[in-house]
Structure 1
Amino acid sequence: MNRFLLGGLAALVMAGIGLFWLQGRAEVEKGAPPPAPAASHGPADLPSASAADITGLVGPTPPEATELTREQRRFGRYDRDRDGRISRNEMLSTRADAFRKLDKDGNNLLTFEEWAVATADKFGQADINHDQYLTAAEFRTTAPPPKPKPKCSCAR
């Protein structure tokens, strides 16, 4: 008798979890941006050139690139869906690799011990003279390395 009651209770719990999951998915899909309209590429959209343009080496003026500020470029890197807003998930997505490095057992939970080991290791590597204190020069070694400048990909 107890087995039947526990089985029925487990079935109700599973059904409830399924309903919450479906409801959450519906909310996510409802908030999704609409698909972009398909652009029509008819004959009127094609560029044209006359024989005078070809012989005189005169073509249409190239479009000018807009100069984005550093902050606008940074915003663009976070705004994955290009809706002009940064969601919490978009903001946290850049931190996933750093989190995975700290999460040693891979259970997607960062315990205090995992964080403390990483911090203690970093302190131990920086404390060159092992006096349990960091001088300004030792502390400077804990800064993340600067990102290398991209090499010119110009064709020569």
Structure 2
Amino acid sequence: MTRFPAGAASALVLVTGAFFIWQGRAQAPEVLQTPPPAAVAIQPGQALAPIPAAPSADPKSKEDMRFAIADKNGDGRITLAEMVEPRRKPFAKLYVNGDGKLGFEEWAVKTIDKFEDADSDGNKALTPAEYATTAPKPKKARPACGC
């Protein structure tokens, strides 16, 4: 009795397989035609226009940007608190074991000294000109190749 449903199921599987084989036959790939490159109308002996040089960044604008980032309240002056505050998070990352070997004052002593050296008028705030003296020294350019 099970031979009849088994035969019907086999016939259905064969028909389904034939259908998938018929639908999956390979077709020739469609070749897209590319348009011809645009011809440049240059006469023999005609000179091309020179390519302008890329603009370079003005060091003054870089310094203004650096000052604006450090001047958190935008009053045109940098206080010691504004200069030290961004260093608290990196300090917290460094001081993880709590063994008492690294204190914030010890870690920030270079920053405090740099601030006091840059504060030429002694008003406990840096003007843009005073802050410019704290700029990091530019790194020497490395040669492009090792030849």
Normalised TM-score (structure 1): 0.26
Q: Which has the higher contact order (CA 8 A, sep 6+)?
A: 2
Structure with more helix by fraction: 1
Q: Tell me the TM-score normalised to structure 2 length.
A: 0.28
